[in-house]
A and B are shown apart, each in its own frame.
Chain A
Amino acid sequence: MAAISIRNLKFAYEKDNPVLDIPSLDISSGEKVFLFGPSGSGKTTLLGLMAGVLEGSSNLFSGDLNILDQNLAKLSVSQRDSFRGLHIGYIFQLFNLIPYLSVIENICLPCVINSKRRAKIKCDLNRAAEDLAIELGLKDFLHKPVLRLSVGQQQRVAVARALLGEPEILIADEPTSALDADHRQKFIELLFEQASRTRATLIFVSHDQSLAKSFDRNLSLNELNRVGAR
């Protein structure tokens, strides 16, 4: 099964100013992909489209974008939101957490919002979240306000949140750029470990090519995207 399949995807924020033009891209299930691109190459736009947050009206969007064999363009707005909530775990570069919730509440939130994702967890939600957090070395922080955590700890909470409920696709948008080299390596190892455990497809985006070596596949957005090549 293909996790992501793109054919002739074209996207623009405004007419006559295309941002993306990707003839073909396939990512198979369980793959760990390193997506490389300098800033301005359309990374964030591509991720937004994959996650179903960006909506192109017909003249700004064309082509096929299939996630888990589902053509996103065929879904309504709220169906896309629900699809994302169920199938995708998303990790930001920084400030991943809702500041007024505790660590455990942050981890549980996607499952609270999406009842189908909640249903995938067989045992008690809090219990599952705690187990996962302990596995990620967050034992001492479970009920702390998130603002007391270091950046590295916050990113680990973000991983736990993205993983809970075992979504099929993990998208990490420059998750290590705020970490120092030592933590960066550890973080990637942890992410791999967890992705392998849940057999999730990992799409890891960065402008830092030094991280590329451990991934199954490296993709350069500049090469994929005909807009960037021009």
Chain B
Amino acid sequence: MWIFSLALKSIKNRKFITSLTILSIALSVGLFLSVEQIRRGARESFSNTISKTDLIVGTKGGSIQLLLYSVFHMGSATNNLLYKSYEKIKANPAIEWTIPYSLGDSHRGYRVVGTTEDFYKFYKFRQDKSVEFESGNSPSGIFDVAIGAEVAKNLNYQVGRKIILSHGISEGASIYDHGDKPFTITGVLKRTGTPIDRAIYITLEGMEAIHIDWQNGVPPSADEMIHPDKIKKQNLPIGQITAFLVRCKSRIEVLKLQREIDAFKGEPLMAIIPGVTLSELWRGIGYAEEALKAVSLLVIAVGFLGMLVSLYTTLNERRREMAILRAIGARPVDIIALLVFESGILSALGVLLGVIFVYAGLFIFQPILENSFNLYLPIQMLSNVELTYLLVIVGAGFLIGLIPALKAYRNALADGLSTKI
């Protein structure tokens, strides 16, 4: 083991250059691992967002768009579907439950979702978890609203507070506010780690009510405005919704129902199977991921090249050292081992530091990613695949040490005890 401790001391002696080498390997390994972690994290968080939903129905268009705007609140729908169509499909005996979504408005950047009690009753995420209330209860009145945990935390809202919704989806102040029809918070949802945390839930009637007096997408003037007190649930017919989720009584029925909806006579509708569409999304992104992974592997190679250069260039100054080692009884293979250990230790330290970088980065960026991209990255152990990669990288580090080691070996044999430098 003396060779190992000698290698450690030799590395320590060249602090500056070795720490640069370790840092460059660490950064490249960190880049590689982040790509992997974000990929895995994004996939898990996406697929954990929706469970037990067999079909999502919207108007015909892109299936991935439908999935993204309905479940992940990303982007927006181009068309709504008629509530009549929804009721007609809902009546199909194969269906166990449905959850309608009416989208399009926002509050300070958070999406407003019009839905029914069925959402709180049936929606499932992370396999079998239901939506629960931290405080208060589900909105029942037209101007009641329930907010996600993240909304409550970031805006510091509590049950009882009145808020004003904005027309359309915008990050900051919107052009049109529904200032004439304030909503009251009746419930705050428990944290779910899904986009639900960043959404605001009202009733379908509420969604109709705030647009009741609008004409051609423009808010009413003061004299045309209908006062909220005059709006009653019973005289609020629901005209449109954006999408709805469907759970069949049996999976066997899903394909048949999907075909029926795709061929729906009333208007052009489309039903997607969320998990299948997600797989397709990942497949599309897969090419970019592979490219990113290839780039990060190249960066690791560059890091190793740096190490090789730094070890190789010191060999000439170290001929003396090798002659001394030989004189006091070191074998030529000990010389090889010394250099192989040095590069192996450097790579192992680089990999270790890289792993630390990634976890530190995850801790720092997790809340930022969650806030800005609705992306909840779980901090999890390295997967077996990642561990294998890391072992291969360390192994490659040892192997690369063989190049300077063999050169030093030849030098040592040629030099013997020669005192010339």
- Which residues of A are interface residues toward B (Cβ below 8 A)? 44, 47-48, 51, 53-54, 77-78, 81-82, 84-86, 90, 92-101, 105, 109-110, 112-114, 117, 161, 173-174
* Given contacts A99-B13, A100-B10, A100-B13, A81 and B330 within 8 Å (CB-CB): yes
Check: B416 CB closer than 8 A to any chain A CB: yes
- B329 close to A (CB within 8 Å): yes
- Closest chain A residue, CB of each to CB of B327: A90
CA of A185 to CA of B409, assembled, Å: 37
Which candidate, B119-127, B219-227, B318-326, is the interface stretch facing chain A? B318-326
A161 to B329 CA separation, bound complex (whole angstroms): 12
Residue of A47, A100, A101 with highest tally of chain B CB at under 10 A? A100
Interface string of B196-213 (1 = CB under 8 A from A): 000000000000000000
B329 & A86 in contact (Cβ 8 Å cutoff): yes
Q: Which of B2, B321, B417 contacts A112 (CB 8 A)?
A: B2
In whole Å, how far is B281's beta carbon from the nearest beta carbon of chain A? 54
Q: CB < 8 Å: which of B326, B329, B419 contacts A93?
A: B419
CB distance from A113 to the nearest CB of B (A): 5
Instruction: Give the residue name and chain of the A residue nearest to B415 (CB).
Output: A53
Which residues of B315-344 are within 8 A (CB) of A?
320-321, 323-334
Task: Please report the C-alpha to C-alpha distance between residue A189 and residue B13 in the assembled complex, in whole angstroms.
Answer: 34
Whether A85 touches B328, Cβ cut-off 8 Å, given contacts A48-B416, A51-B417, A100-B13, is yes
Answer whether A81 and B329 are a contact pair too, CB < 8 Å, given A54-B416, A100-B12, A113-B2.
yes
Given the contacts A77-B332, A85-B328, A110-B329, A98 and B419 also touching, CB distance less than 8 Å: no
B149-175 toward A: CB 8 Å interface, digit per residue (1/0)?
A: 000000000000000000000000000
Say yes or no: A92 contacts B328, CB within 8 Å.
no
Are B416 and A53 neighbours in the complex by a CB distance under 8 Å?
yes
Q: Which residue of B lies closest to A50 (CB)?
A: B417
Q: Which of B1-52 contact A (CB under 8 A)?
A: 2, 6, 9-10, 12-14
A4 CB, min distance to chain B CBs, angstroms: 16
Tell me, yes or no, whether B418 is within 8 Å of chain A by CB.
yes
Determine how close the nearest CB of chain B comes to the CB of A103; give it in whole angstroms.
Answer: 13
How many Å lie between the Cα of A119 and that of B211 in the bound state? 94
Complex partner residue of A113 from B14, B330, B333, B416, CB under 8 angstroms: B330
A174 to B420, CA, bound (A): 13
Contact status B331-A109, CB under 8 Å: no
From A81, A98, A117, contact of B324 by CB (8 A): A98
Q: Which of B321, B324, B329, B332 contacts A82 (CB 8 A)?
A: B329
Taking CB atoms, residues of chain A closer than 8 Å to B419 are 44, 92-95, 173-174
In the bound complex, CA of A29 to CA of B418 (Å): 26
- Contacts A95-B320, A100-B12: A110 and B328 contacting too (C-beta < 8 A)? yes
Report 10 cross-chain contacts, Cβ distance below 8 Å, ordered by A residue.
A44-B417, A44-B419, A48-B417, A53-B416, A95-B324, A95-B419, A100-B9, A100-B14, A101-B6, A101-B9
Instruction: State A96–B328 Cα separation when bound (angstroms).
Output: 11
Contact with A92, one of B12, B327, B331 (Cβ below 8 angstroms): B327
Q: How far is the CA of A112 from the CA of B334 in the complex (A)?
A: 13
Distance (whole angstroms) from the CB of B330 to the closest CB of chain A: 6
Measured CB to CB, the nearest residue on chain B to A93 is B419
B364 to A: closest C-beta gap in Å: 36
Known: A48-B418, A54-B416, A109-B328. 11 other contacts (CB 8 A): A44-B418, A44-B419, A53-B327, A53-B416, A86-B329, A92-B323, A97-B324, A100-B12, A110-B328, A173-B417, A173-B419
Residues of A within 8 A of B325 (CB): 98, 113
Q: Which residue of A lies closest to B318 (CB)?
A: A99
Query: A114 to B329, Cβ gap below 8 A?
Result: yes
Chain A residues closer than 8 Å to B330, beta-carbon distance: 81, 85, 113
Task: Please indicate the chain B residues that have their CB under 8 angstroms from the CB of A97 in the complex.
Answer: 324
In the bound assembly, the distance between CA atoms of A206 and B275 in angstroms comes to 85
Beyond A95-B320, A99-B321, A100-B9, is A113–B329 a contact (Cβ under 8 Å)?
yes
Cα–Cα, bound, A209→B195 (Å): 91
How far apart are the CA atoms of A141 and B2 in the complex, in Å? 23
B324 touches A77 (CB 8 A): no
A84 near B321: Cβ-Cβ < 8 Å: no
* Smallest Cβ-Cβ distance to B317: which chain A residue: A99
> Nearest B residue to A110 by beta-carbon distance?
B328
Taken together as a complex, chains A and B put the C-alpha atoms of A96 and B321 apart, in Å, by 8
Separation of A191 and B332 alpha carbons in the complex (Å): 29
Instruction: With A99-B13, A100-B9 as known contacts, state yes or no: A113 contacts B418, CB within 8 Å.
Output: no
* Of listed B321, B324, B327, B418, residue having the most chain A CB within 10 A: B327
With a CB–CB cut-off of 8 A, which chain B residues contact A98? 6, 321, 324-325
8 A-B pairs with least C-beta separation: A85-B329, A100-B13, A110-B328, A90-B327, A53-B416, A81-B331, A112-B2, A48-B416
> Using a CB-CB cutoff of 8 Å, which residues 372-421 of chain B contact chain A?
416-419, 421
The chain A residue sitting closest to B10, CB to CB, is A100
Q: How far is the CA of A84 from the CA of B324 in the complex (A)?
A: 12
The docked-state distance in angstroms from the alpha carbon of A76 to that of B176 is 92
A174 to chain B, nearest CB (A): 8
Contacts of A105 in B (CB 8 A): 9
B414 to chain A minimum Cβ distance, whole angstroms, is 10
**Assembled-state Cα–Cα distance A199/B416 (Å):** 27
The CA of A94 and the CA of B418, in the complex, are separated in Å by 11
How far is the CB of A218 from the nearest CB of chain B, in Å?
A: 22
CA distance A48 to B414 in the complex (A): 11
Measured between beta carbons, the chain B residues less than 8 angstroms from A109 are 2, 328
- In Å, the complex CA distance between A113 and B320 comes to 18
Most buried by A among B12, B418, B421: B418
Q: Report A-chain residues with C-beta under 8 Å of the C-beta of B10.
A: 100
